[in-house]
Each structure stands twice: as C-alpha cells, then as structure tokens.
Structure 1
Amino acid sequence: MNRTGSDLSTLGHRIRHFRTQRALTLDELGERVGLAGSQLSLIENGKREPKLSILQAIAGALDVELTELLAAEPPNPRAALEIELRQAQQRPLYTELGLPAVKPNKGMSDDALAALVGLHRELQRKATEAIATPEEARRANTELREWMRERDNYLPEIEELAEARIRAAGHVRGAVTHRTVSIMAEQLGFSLIYVNDLPHSARSVTDLANGRIYLPPASIPGGHGLRSMALQAMAHRLLEHSQPTSYAAFLRQRLEINYFAACCLMPQEAAVAFLRQAKRDRNLAVEDFRDAFGVTHEAAALRFTNLATHHLDMPLHFLRVSEDGSLAKGYENDGLPLPADVTGGIEGQLVCRKWSARSAFERTNRTTELYQYTDTPAGTYWCATQTGTTSAGEFSISVGVPFNEAKWFRGRETTNRAVSSCPDPSCCRRPPNDLAERWLGKAWPSARLHAHVLSPLPSGTFPGVDDSEVYDFLERHSGS
C-alpha cells in the first residue's frame, strides 16, 4: 500500500483506539487475526505496514468498516498530539540536537503533551522564518549565481511557460502593454489593484483569498516597474511556489519570478528574432533592445544575458556598479575576472578603476553608451556601459564580451582602451609611491559605515517583510 510514516502513525492510533474501546489487549486482538501481540504492537506504533488482508482481519475483529479504520484523521485530539510529537521528534531539526525522544504514555497529561507539541511548533516556526545574516545571504547568492552560470543564465521551462501565457493573453508583437498584463492576471483569477498604502516592506501584496494583487500607483517611468511587479506576483502562482523555508529558497524564488517577468516583457521568440537580425547586421546594441521592448536599460541588459549564449552562441558578462565602484550585481560566463571575497561572493567588491563600469562616471556626456576595450590578465574584453541615477545614487550598467565577439556590436570601432592588471593591487588600489610617501601618516579619513553590513535581514515569513504590517494592510482592504 506504500503508506507514509504519517499515514502509518494515524493508522496505528486508529487501530489502538478501536481496540481499547472494545477492551481488548494486544494479545487478544492478535489471537483473533492470527498475529503475535508484539507484531500488532509494531503496527499500532506505526513501525510496520500491514498487508491489506491483515487490515481486513483487524477491521472484522474490531467490528468496524475497513474504510473507517483507514480514515486519514486521528481518532481523537490526544492521538493527533501524539502523532504530531512523534513526527516532530523525527525531523532533523530535533534529531541534530542529540536529545532523546519523548514517548507519550498514559501517565502524561494532555496539557503536558500539548506543551511539548507547542515547543516543537515554535522551534519549527523559528527555523522556517527565513532569517538570514549577511553571511548566509552572500553564501546563498553565490551558490545561486554559480547554478545559473552552469546553465548559461537560461531557464527553458520558464521561457516556455512565459511564452504560453503571453500568447494566451493575445499578445502578438511590440511592447507588452498594461492591458495585456491585466488580462494575464484575469486569466489566473486575479484583479490588479493600485493603492497608496502598501506596506513599506513590500513591493506588492497578493490577496489569495480574494483574488487581488495590490500594487503601488506609480513606479519606474514608462510603467515597466508596474508591469514587472504584477508579472512577478503572478509568477509565484504559475510556478507553484510554496512558502520559502530558507534564505536560499527565497532567493531562488525571487530569481525565478524576475526571470518570468523578463520573459513576458521581452518574449523569447520576438526577442531572439530581434537579436539575431541585429547580429547579422553587426549592429547589436542593448539600447536598441531596450527601446524595442519598452523596458529599462538594466532589464534589457539582463535579458540579453539570458539569451545571448543559448541563442547567439556568445559568452558575455553583465555588471551593475555603484558610483563608489562596488559591484551590486554581476554575471559572467566569458572568464572575466570578477572581484570576489574568500567565499566567492562578488556583491560589494570593488571593480577595477580601469574598467568602463567605473570610468563611465568620469564622462561629462553620459547620454550615450561608453564603448571600451580593456586588456585584463584573462584576455581583452569589449564593453558597452550606460550610467543612470536613482535616489540611492548613480550606477552603471555594463554588458561586455571577449574581443573576438566584439565584431557583432555597435561601437566595436572605439579607440578607447585601458589596461587592467587587477587583482594585482598595483593596478589601481595601491597609491603611487610619491603620493604614499607624501601623505603616509598625515591623513585620517572617517570611513562611511553601511548599516546593512552589520544588520541581519529582518525576520518574517518572507525575508525583509513585516508580517504584521502586511496582515494589517490586507485586513483594511478585505472589505473593499
């Protein structure tokens, strides 16, 4: 019958319940069904799965229907607590503590049993609350980046799902409109609601009970942000995500919903056709890709990393760098030596001052992309870099390829060239000897401390989200 451990526990408790109701001992019932009392005890304790013929014999001996004996519900509240305690003590969360298992007996009161079960529930809740320190977050993010690198940043299952959904909504060509996104939501049983009082810790909130997706009234100019947030919320349903039980699971889900949204806003079939034509024309440009689909430069650059290797046979790299030179996001499968710490994490690491991702900040005219060749210890790379500004400061977006792939891109004729020997500190991090001699011991800068370096991520069912704030929000809107 292949019952699970939970099923066997419930079955054993139901057999014991009906046996004690009839005032039978294990040996007496065993004699009626042709089993030793010790064998019957193993069945009642959920340690042995009985054959169907034995179950039929037990049901007959106890004068109950077989279907009643096999019911999935524990026979009473006490049995339900005993089953839950047994299951909790078998989980790695408890067994790794090296503590003995407590076996409920007749002398244990219901209150004591309920208290033990309550402690296990709280232990499990805290373990699954998805709290992560910065170190845990960095490790999980590094593992996820390597996982995507092995797949050339391409997830075919999500590509196919997005293509099917966008077609079902009637989209044929051009930029995906808000109307198309609304139709996609309606097809899933959701309506999009724009509100001014979203919880500060959430970008959107999905009300599963009432079929609503709550979004802010305005976002990135052009509406890309609103479309993307709505699509991300839908992706959780379409990808059948369950509540994340670790920070790694949370990051994986976030990657998948972002990927799905990008696939919808820049559908694979149309995007690949556009890029292949541009490659044939030797006129590939992220800015053209961006404008063709009505998205941000960063979204277009990231989407290009999804498609370039798989469909254009082209290795590449992507960088988002803050104005202080720190790497906020990065991806490469072309051998570019990204700066990394001892754990392999790249976020927050300083990129070389010679790279276009940083030299682009020095330009006076930033309306167009900066094209540059850079000689590195791993070879020569061509890059196109565009700068932007947010409330948090300036940033740059770079997409680059090895020298031999530059022939397909607009801007390949640039004469801008730099030489980088990073991670050699003499490249750009060690000051010239004359300046070091002049200022050594004569300067004392006050370092800027980033609070997030010291703080763990806020606790909650979902990392960084205030559960109380979200539930208060849903309660306010549930009657509207």
Structure 2
Amino acid sequence: MAPRTTTDRPAGDGAGPDLLMLGRRIRHLRTARGLTLDALGERVGSAPSLLSLVENGRREPRLSLLRDLADALGVRVGDLLADEAPDRRAELEIALERAQRGRLFAELGLPAVKPSQRLPLPVLEQLVGLHREIARRAEEAIATPEEARRANTELRLERQARGNYYGEIEDLAEDLIGRAGYAGGGAVTHRTVARLAESLGFTILHVTDLPRSARTVTDLRNGRIYLPQASIPGGHGLRSLALQAIAHRVLEHERPRSYAEFLRQRVEITYFAAACLAPRSAAVTFLQARKREKDLAVEDFRDTFGLTHEAAAMRLTNLATEHLGIPLHFLRVGDDGALFRGYANDGLPLPQDVTGAIEGQLVCRRWAAREAFARRDRATEFYQYTDTPNGTYWDSVQTGTRGTDSAGTSAGFGAGAFSITVGVPFAHAKWFRGRDTQVRQASRCPDPACCQLPPASLAERWAAGSWPSARMHQQVLAALPRGAFPGVDDTEVFAFLERHAPRAEQGAEQGAEQGAEQG
C-alpha cells in the first residue's frame, strides 16, 4: 500500500498522526543536531526528497521509517508524535501552512507563501494573524438569513421526525432536578433551581445592570450565573433563564461554530429547562390521569407546574406523542397573522416559503389562531374545529400581549398581541376539554382564493381607487446578528463581568498588572 499524503486526509483530523506537527518536530530535531536532509537520509536509508515531503507534512512515514528517524535523532517515537509544536516558530509555520491549505485561502486566489527558515519571524507572525482574522470574520458572517432559515427548517423537521422528544435530555433533567430535591407533585421552586446550580458549582445572582444584548451571563471562572431581577414580560421566567444557562454546562456545549449550531444549542437548552420545570415522571402522570378523564387542558398543565401558557403548550408537544400517543401541533402567531414559531407532527398544512421555512408566513384567516383575536373575552381559552385540505383539526387558543420579543428586546417580529395554539386531528379531540365547541370554520389554504385574495366585488370597486401607505417592517432590513453568540455585545459582557468579579480576583489581577509594568 502506498503511503498516504495530506491530499488523502487533512492533517489533524483524528484519523492518524498530525502530519504537519510530526514533520515540523522532525525538522526541528534535525536542524538542532546540525544535520542536513542528505545526512539524515543516509542514517535512515531514505531519499532526501522523501524526508522533505515528511517534514512538510505531505507524506505520512511508515512505522519502520518513523522508528529509524527516532533512533537517528536520539529520541523516542512518542516524542516525534507529540501534539505540541517544538517552538514558537514551528507553531507559526504550522498555522500558516494549514491556513494556506484551507478553503478560505483557496477562494482568495493568491499565491502561497512558503514558511521557510528565511522568512523573518515578524512577517510570519503578521501572516498568521491576518489569516486568523480572515477566518474570524468569515465565521461571524457565515449565517445569511437564507442559511439561518434553512438551518431552522432542518431543526424543525428533525424535531417532527422524533415527535419533538429528546429522551437523553429528559433523563438528564429528571436526574438533576431530583437530586436538587424535587419530589414531584407540582411546580419546581426557585430554591430547587438554586440548589441544582449549587450542585454544579454555580451561584445564581440577580442584577440590575445585565448587558442589554444578553438574557443571562455566566461567569465560568468564578462560578456565577447572572440573571435580571424580574422576568421578561410574556417571555422566559427566571427559573427558565437560570436552567437554560445551566444547560450549556450539563449538555457540554462548546462555542458554536455556525449559526446552525447556535440554533441547535438554543433548542437543546430550552428543552432542558422545560424538562426540569415539568419533570417527565410528574408531568406524564398528570397528563395520563387527565387523558383518562378526557379532560386534557393546557391551562391546567400550566397552572399545576407554574409555567407560562406558551411553555406549557410547548412542553405538551414534548410529551403528548411519546407518552400519550397523541399527534399534535403548536403555533405562536402574531395579531398580523404571521407565524412566529410552529411545530406539527399531525399533518397540519403549515404555510411555507420556497426553502421550507415557516417563520414569518401568514396563516389562514380562518384558523383558530387568528379567529381568537376577534373575541371580546380573551381571558379564557378559545376552541374551534377547522376543516382543511388535510382533514379536520380541533384547536385550543390562548391570546396574550407583550411589548418585547423572546430575547427581551423591544418591538420587532413577535412583539404586540399574539396567540398560542395547541391542536390535534379530529379523532384525538375526544381527550381534550373544549371538544364540545360548536365553533367551526373551513379553510382552503394554500388556495389563494381562500383568504389571500379580496372578494371580486371589493377588488373591482377599490383596486384602482385606493392608495394605502404601507407600514414599514424594519426587521426585514436588519442584518442577521453576527458573532459566536449572535447579537451579543462582547464589550458590554466583558465590562459587566469585570464590574461584578469578586474583589479578591480584581485585586490579584491588578497586582499582576502592576508587577508586569514594574518588570
């Protein structure tokens, strides 16, 4: 078998030795001993040209050659295979070589610079720094709105395929919340969440100056989780925010490398928080009892476990299919009819754009999610049957109002009045309270004649005799947030952490800085 080259496998991909690192260690040891390639080749019985390929990370040596090289250089084989560069220059040469073999550099169409010994160290430092900055900017700008929508669609379809149920997160959440003292039978208290944090080495602190761009901030160095002093109106409660911060640690998340990974982490931490606030055993016991009584209701589930209506509705989607055998759908719709968040594994024909994304699409005017806004009494749930091209569905809808979106920022998509819908196919309505409603609508969407086109008589009368001034939706012009944690202002966060760091740590750092200045 012919030796592999780095065109067969990238160096450092985990399938074998890091060829660039190996080559630079061999070169470092060779030059340190005053040997030329010819001299080393004579000692190991190999051609200098082969050794040059090895030293440049372009050829993987056979084990026999590796042993001969170790003997000739007076080291062990393990010393050659170490994963640390022998010196700063070798580290920079490896970094430059890797950067110039990558896709980003290839797209620039520039000639490569050979990292030879004749290249001055300051020039090498500058080239590596420039390549790292190019990579950083590329990572920040990687998520176009189209890519983000596709990534979100993939996540939604994945959740749909598994019934929106993540058994491994359920197991972890139930174990941790149980160890923190939750014995079942009701809501998880703030104290229980605090004990859970303490068991993982964190203290929860409430502050008034949390950075505007962050919902929470975790100080990994000092074991602190900073939360606002009050819940976000209509959004996440303080228990949920704390649990989401904890989730990053217990789920062993690393800094997201793409917008898709960022979105996946958000799904996982939200799921973990919900699984802690309505632990599986207690929640399933409650829901199964209500199903037997044919009295399932989101409002009862909400009140029993101390959740927001939206959180209770979403938690129901986690458990209903897996443990109750009920397919269902969930919608969050704005009063303008735009779908903000949706999930369905029951065949409900959700509106989609050409990429398959549902966010921002208008739902049918006949659906319960929009009919609920026409009610005068919005304090209780609204029930409706809707005939669609995919069958008849029963829905339970609760409306609400908020002035901020789920990230806590004012205005924009998701602000204002909204409705939360949980619905099931007609055959499963028998398990729910409100199934006896006489309210019924018929929807032919996505047929434009259903509700997207005005009646012909009105169009004929007003099409040429009207000129409305459209309200501008500013969010369509906003750039997608950038950075490893999109939308987070690092300057604000780091200044906040510095402000709140324990005084002992601040004093130690100041002392170190003074010592460095004196040195």
Q: TM-score, normalised by structure 2?
A: 0.88
Q: Name 1:404's counterpart in structure 2.
A: 427
**Distance of aligned partners of 1:91 and 1:240 in 2 relative to their CA distance in 1, 3 Å threshold:** farther
Q: How many Å apart are 1:165 and its aligned residue?
A: 1.0
Between the aligned partners of 2:211 and 2:293, the Cα distance in structure 1 is: 48
Q: How many Å apart are 1:459 and its aligned residue?
A: 2.2
Q: Name 2:140's counterpart in structure 1.
A: 129
Between the aligned partners of 1:382 and 1:232, the Cα distance in structure 2 is: 32
Q: How does 1:35-434 map onto structure 2 within 5 Å?
A: 35-50=46-61, 54-64=65-75, 68-97=79-108, 99-129=110-140, 132-173=143-184, 174-220=186-232, 225-391=237-403, 392-434=415-457
Identity of aligned residues (%): 66
| Structure 2: 5+ residue stretches without partners | 1-11, 404-414, 504-519
Q: Name 2:467's counterpart in structure 1.
A: 444
Q: The residue matched to 1:314 in structure 2 has which SS?
A: coil
**Distance of aligned partners of 1:157 and 1:91 in 2 relative to their CA distance in 1, 3 Å threshold:** farther
8 A Cα contact 1:55 1:66, kept in partner: yes
Q: The residue matched to 1:385 in structure 2 has which SS?
A: strand
Q: How many Å apart are 1:311 and its aligned residue?
A: 1.3
Q: The residue matched to 2:386 in structure 1 has which SS?
A: strand
Aligned residue identity for 1:324: D
**Distance of aligned partners of 1:216 and 1:6 in 2 relative to their CA distance in 1, 3 Å threshold:** farther
Q: The residue matched to 2:392 in structure 1 has which SS?
A: strand
Q: The residue matched to 2:465 in structure 1 has which SS?
A: coil
Between the aligned partners of 1:436 and 1:240, the Cα distance in structure 2 is: 57
Between the aligned partners of 1:105 and 1:461, the Cα distance in structure 2 is: 34
Between the aligned partners of 1:223 and 1:367, the Cα distance in structure 2 is: 18
Deviating more after overlay: 187-196 vs 45-54? 45-54
Q: How many Å apart are 1:162 and its aligned residue?
A: 0.8
8 A Cα contact 1:130 1:246, kept in partner: no
Aligned residue identity for 2:289: Q
8 A Cα contact 1:327 1:346, kept in partner: yes
Between the aligned partners of 1:410 and 1:322, the Cα distance in structure 2 is: 25
Q: The residue matched to 1:128 in structure 2 has which SS?
A: helix
Q: The residue matched to 2:204 in structure 1 has which SS?
A: strand
Q: How many Å apart are 1:402 and its aligned residue?
A: 0.6
Output the aligned Cα RMSD: 2.2
Between the aligned partners of 1:128 and 1:95, the Cα distance in structure 2 is: 16
Q: How many Å apart are 1:448 and its aligned residue?
A: 1.3
8 A Cα contact 2:398 2:419, kept in partner: yes
Q: The residue matched to 1:175 in structure 2 has which SS?
A: coil
Tell me the alpha carbon deviations over residues 259-299 of structure 1, each in whole angstroms, 9 at most, x when there is no partner.
Answer: 10000001111111111111111111111111110101100
**Distance of aligned partners of 1:55 and 1:182 in 2 relative to their CA distance in 1, 3 Å threshold:** same
**Distance of aligned partners of 1:133 and 1:43 in 2 relative to their CA distance in 1, 3 Å threshold:** closer
Aligned residue identity for 2:85: P
Deviating more after overlay: 126-135 vs 434-443? 126-135
Tell me the alpha carbon deviations over residues 321-352 of structure 1, each in whole angstroms, 9 at most, x when there is no partner.
Answer: 11111111111111111111112111111111
8 A Cα contact 2:17 2:81, kept in partner: no
Between the aligned partners of 2:443 and 2:70, the Cα distance in structure 1 is: 80
8 A Cα contact 1:373 1:383, kept in partner: yes
Q: How many Å apart are 1:427 and its aligned residue?
A: 1.5
**Distance of aligned partners of 1:466 and 1:408 in 2 relative to their CA distance in 1, 3 Å threshold:** same
Q: Name 2:485's counterpart in structure 1.
A: 462
Q: How many Å apart are 1:170 and its aligned residue?
A: 1.7
8 A Cα contact 2:258 2:484, kept in partner: no
Deviating more after overlay: 323-332 vs 451-460? 451-460
8 A Cα contact 1:13 1:79, kept in partner: yes
**Distance of aligned partners of 1:260 and 1:61 in 2 relative to their CA distance in 1, 3 Å threshold:** same
Between the aligned partners of 1:476 and 1:6, the Cα distance in structure 2 is: 44
8 A Cα contact 2:176 2:196, kept in partner: yes
User: How many residues are treated as equivalent by the alignment?
Assistant: 480
